[in-house]
Structure 1
Amino acid sequence: MLMHKIKIAALSALALALSGCGASDEPAAPPPKTAEELAYISDASPIPKARLDAAISPLFDDPAMAETRALLIMYRGKIIAERYGEDYDEDTRFISWSMAKSFTGALIGFLVADGRLVLDDPAPVPAWQRPGDPRGDITLRQLIHMSSGLDHTEVPEEGGATVFEADTNRMLFLDGASNVAGYAEARPMEAEPGAKFEYSTATSMILADIITRTLTNSTDPEVRRNAAMRFIRGRLLEPLGMDGTYFEFDANGTFLGGSIIQASARDYATFGEFLRNNGARKGAQHLPVSWVQFMRTSSANDPAYGGHIWLNKKRPEGRNQVLFPDMAPDTVFAALGHLGQQIVVSPDQKLTVVRLGKTQDNVLRPMSDQIGRIVAMFPTD
């Protein structure tokens, strides 16, 4: 009887072992997506739809990449992929945050091309013109390269400025909000002009004020606002067909050129394509090629930063990497903003990628690397 029980137990163990043959700890692969599910990718994509979708989907589905609200890819001037999160679509206007800086850099270029501003002249800021004021030596180039030497603290610092003391927050939302440029221009020097790189929204607000004062001598906020918008519409928005793009202003009539533009994903892509095509659209040259090349050339104090735009270059030791120089051509450049807003442009690949969403700045790396993987998929001409 005992032997019989042992035999039964042995047979049962064998049956269990056999039933487990071929089993795996890996979850079963998801079924292939249907044509309808892949319809957001164009038939003109040079990358097979399933493969491109496999690279795009983590941006929307992987919790490590937080919340992507829009992803748009243009290749050779055509939209070849466009996907939106729930409750967002092609008509939604998304906040730019610091992508606005690159718009401001382009707008400065129009005035330099017109001969109304000069790169290596002292920046025309009235508050700096008193005799002996060291700020009077700051050049326009140094402002565009984020090397003014002004004491601007962009974000809260460990053991330093708190969230309520950082200049960006104070300027935009607290005591400087009624006159952002006035706040930024009043800050003292902390270094010689041109001596160090310090990324600063306040610097871009100074440039926005310089643009406005170049266009009008009026101090009336409405006159300032109207003069700036006529210029912005006439030189940038209307020629590019960016009808859904809106610039925000402070109470003093200065556009918030460091941080707050509202536009659709398609309009952001149009701006990226404009710079990819060296300032031209539909055969018409609007912004000089030389200015776009200046924007896309490394500044003296940070090879990864050009003329108010980020470049796909390695940064000096101790500075956070912002793009992906090990994945994509070093000619890639990008307008980047708080919470993971990105317009990534690769001239060599005839490619523009727009990602909009909400990913906290301290966990951007997985999302940014995924954009780098998408860029790396496309051929280089």
Structure 2
Amino acid sequence: MKIYPLLASALALAVPGSAAAPPDPIAPLFAPDMGDTRAVLLLVDGRPVAKRYAAGYSDANRFISWSMAKSVTALLVGALVADGKLQLDAPAPIAEWRNDGRARITLRQLLRMSSGLRHIEVGQPIENSDTNQVLFVSGTGGMAARAIARPLAFKPGTHFNYDSLTSIILAEIVTRTLTDSRDPRIRARAYRDFAEERLFRPAGVASAFLEFDGSGTQIGGSIIHMSLDDWGRLGRLLVDGKGPNGKQIVAPDWLAFLKTPAPTNPRYGGHVWLSPNGLVSMRGHLGQFVFTGAKDGHSVVLVRLGNTREDRLEAITPSFERIAQAALTAG
């Protein structure tokens, strides 16, 4: 493959002063000024081109998703849409909204972060944000109930508001579609079994560990753990929806919806992020990234997992996008 010279050039642009040697072309991504990078995997046309861990990490580790979990939730919602059990433009099946203006909220609007529900994702001080209060303070026993109870702040479909609690609502919709039980153990088992059957097992993902709240709702906006290779396998699904054996796991029309820019934010699709250069990505707190792209019959998946302060991410994120784009061009 001709990827190494082009990848080295991209790294030279992304990381001033770097020189990528062919045996380890992603080594500069572990430089101190690139944040605390813990694991990187580069796949081109489904094949591993480069893989590296920081000291202390290995194939034995599972890495937390943070908000990359949102994209996983969207894939599971898509499976139920494909089964005819959910409808993208019907009112979201939340009984608690039946008798007020929230009854107009659709699945499409939830997936595009335009439900209109009142929400503060990052508050000042940070511990006062709605997301942190529900995930880590007073809402851990029933996250979906807290998320569902919020009133409208805007007319549904008119404003983009990034909202981790919306993803918990979507996970709750999946759970309620799968079971009528209120037993947390039964609810969690139904969700986990569905995820294994319809997504993880067909994709070859063996390490997925899903976390649930006290009521058995999967924390679908924030907390899933997987190995580096398995994050790469899920990234591969965002390319064409096919598993390692070529079987279609994600319906093409659902992938097309996920990758279509939302009217309220052209950089956001259906629980995935969209770059001007055509890359589609899962993104999480502290610099969890899975960038994917396809062009002229070639595909790329770049996974970066780490622990980078949020105020540094804006500076380093373009570097990873450039690497993924260069690998795609060189594929």
TM-score (norm 2): 0.91
Q: Which amino acid aligns with 2:212?
A: F
Pick aligned residue for 2:3 from 21, 46, 60:
46
2:14: which partner in 1?
none
Give the ranges of 4+ consecutive aligned residues of structure 1 lying more than 6 Å apart after TM superposition.
none
Number of aligned pairs?
A: 315
**Are the counterparts in 2 of residues 125 and 210 from structure 1 also a CA contact under 8 Å?**
yes
1:338: which partner in 2?
285
Pick aligned residue for 2:306 from 357, 376, 379:
357
Pairwise CA RMSD of aligned residues?
A: 1.6
**Are the counterparts in 2 of residues 225 and 253 from structure 1 also a CA contact under 8 Å?**
yes
1:322: which partner in 2?
none
SS at match of 2:4: coil
Residues 257/50 of structure 1: CA separation in 2 closer, same or farther (3 Å cut): closer
Q: Which amino acid aligns with 1:143?
A: L
1:137: which partner in 2?
104
Describe the superposition over 1:16-48 as per-residue Cα deviations: whole angstroms up to 9, x where unpaired.
xxxxxxxxxxxxxxxxxxxxxxxxxxxx56224
Q: Which runs of 5+ in 1 are unaligned?
A: 1-43, 314-328
Of the two structures, which has the highest relative contact order with CA contacts closer than 8 Å and spacing of 6 or more?
2
Percentage identity across paired residues of the two chains? 43
1:324: which partner in 2?
none
Q: Which amino acid aligns with 2:235?
A: G
Distance 2:256 2:60 in 1: 32
**Are the counterparts in 2 of residues 45 and 80 from structure 1 also a CA contact under 8 Å?**
no
Describe the superposition over 1:85-140 as per-residue Cα deviations: whole angstroms up to 9, x where unpaired.
010012210000000000001100000000000011110112111x2x11111111
**Which residues in structure 2 correspond to 1:1-381 (within 5 Å)?**
46-48=3-5, 51=8, 54=20, 56-61=26-31, 63-129=32-98, 131=99, 133-157=100-124, 162-313=125-276, 329-330=277-278, 332-348=279-295, 349-380=298-329
TM-score (norm 1): 0.80
Q: Which amino acid aligns with 1:138?
A: I
Distance 1:111 1:376 in 2: 32
SS at match of 2:305: strand
Bigger Cα Rg: 1
**Are the counterparts in 1 of residues 113 and 160 from structure 2 also a CA contact under 8 Å?**
yes
**Are the counterparts in 2 of residues 95 and 263 from structure 1 also a CA contact under 8 Å?**
yes
Residues 379/343 of structure 1: CA separation in 2 closer, same or farther (3 Å cut): closer
SS at match of 1:102: helix
**Are the counterparts in 2 of residues 296 and 307 from structure 1 also a CA contact under 8 Å?**
yes
SS at match of 1:232: helix
SS at match of 1:122: coil
**Are the counterparts in 1 of residues 203 and 249 from structure 2 also a CA contact under 8 Å?**
no
Residues 186/81 of structure 1: CA separation in 2 closer, same or farther (3 Å cut): same
Q: How many Å apart are 1:379 and its aligned residue?
A: 4.7
Distance 1:108 1:58 in 2: 37
